[in-house]
Amino acid sequence: MSKTALQALAIALVAAVAGAAGVYLWRAGGDAQQAAEARSTGKPLIGGPFALVDHTGAARTEKDLLGRFAVVNFGFTNCPDVCPTTLQTISDALELMGPAAQRIRPVFVSVDPDRDTPDRLKTYREAFDERFLMLTGSEAAVARAAKAYKVGYSRMKPAADGSYMVNHTALIYLMGPDGAYITHFPFRIAPDKLAASLKKWVGSGS
């Protein structure tokens, strides 16, 4: 990706709104400094420290993602279509990659911590690739993680029965073994195209 394209992405992740499927991108006050730094370095400031818990209840931080490539997606388990479709796409892509998939850790971060407990995530994980690391935490901890990845989310007005949806950014992020952002993919990408793109970054495996 060229420097110009990276700069454009950095600005878009800070200020733009994506209309597709009701998801949108992060618009946080005070991000002007981050945008300026992104323009000066040519790299979007995506990723960073977080302190969450996984589907087993174990504490996890950004350090747990180091050493392998990470495919990171944010969503929630009560999502009717975008989230399960995206996780299935990632699962199918990893299957298509063969041995090369061993170099990738798929990660799902819930933006609905009130409902997405570790036990709920553990059950949800069973429908997808067994390598998924499912993360949740307190509202504050999830908010910090989402901000680090420039992910926006907002709980919608509850229905009469108390159920609710969560609008959220639905991009798929590829992070390097050093924790640095590499690129991202749209949630509608086909599994074979995702697998081919990932292979270009991680190699063919052994």
Return the pLDDT at 42. 58
Give 23-31 contacts, CB < 8 A, sequence gap 24+.
23/82, 23/167, 23/168, 23/169, 23/170, 23/187, 24/152, 24/154, 24/167, 24/168, 24/169, 25/150, 25/151, 25/152, 25/169, 26/146, 26/147, 26/150, 26/151, 26/152, 26/169, 27/152, 28/147
What is the C-alpha separation between 159 and 157, in angstroms, rounded?
Answer: 7
- Pick the residue with more confidence: 206 or 21? 206
In a domain? residue 111 = yes
In a domain? residue 54 = yes
pTM (2 decimals)? 0.81
Is residue 99 over pLDDT 60? yes
In a domain? residue 1 = no
Structure confidence by residue, pLDDT tens digits, 127-157: 999 999 999 999 999 999 999 999 999 999 9
Number of domains in the chain: 1
In a domain? residue 34 = no
Return the pLDDT at 27. 34
Mean pLDDT, residues 71-84: 97
Mean pLDDT, residues 36-53: 74
In a domain? residue 4 = no
In a domain? residue 32 = no
Is residue 9 over pLDDT 50? no
8 Å CB contact between 191 and 96: yes
8 Å CB contact between 172 and 201: no
The two three-digit tokens of residue 206, written as one number: 């052994």
Structure confidence by residue, pLDDT tens digits, 53-66: 999 999 999 999 99
In a domain? residue 148 = yes
Mean pLDDT, residues 84-90: 98
Return the pLDDT at 204. 65
Residue 203 pLDDT grade (very low, low, confident, very high; cuts 50, 70, 90):
confident
Query: In CATH, what number is assigned to the domain containing residue 60?
Result: 3.40.30.10
In a domain? residue 144 = yes
The residue segments making up the domain with residue 118 are 45-202
Q: Which of 142, 155, 167, 159 is nearest to 60 (CA)?
A: 142
Instruction: Kindly provide the b/e burial profile for residues 182-201, where b requires at least 16 CB atoms within 10 angstroms of the residue's own CB.
Output: bbbbebebebeebbebbbee
- Pick the residue with more confidence: 162 or 34? 162
Is residue 86 over pLDDT 50? yes
Mean pLDDT, residues 110-115: 97
Return the pLDDT at 205. 57
Return the pLDDT at 151. 96
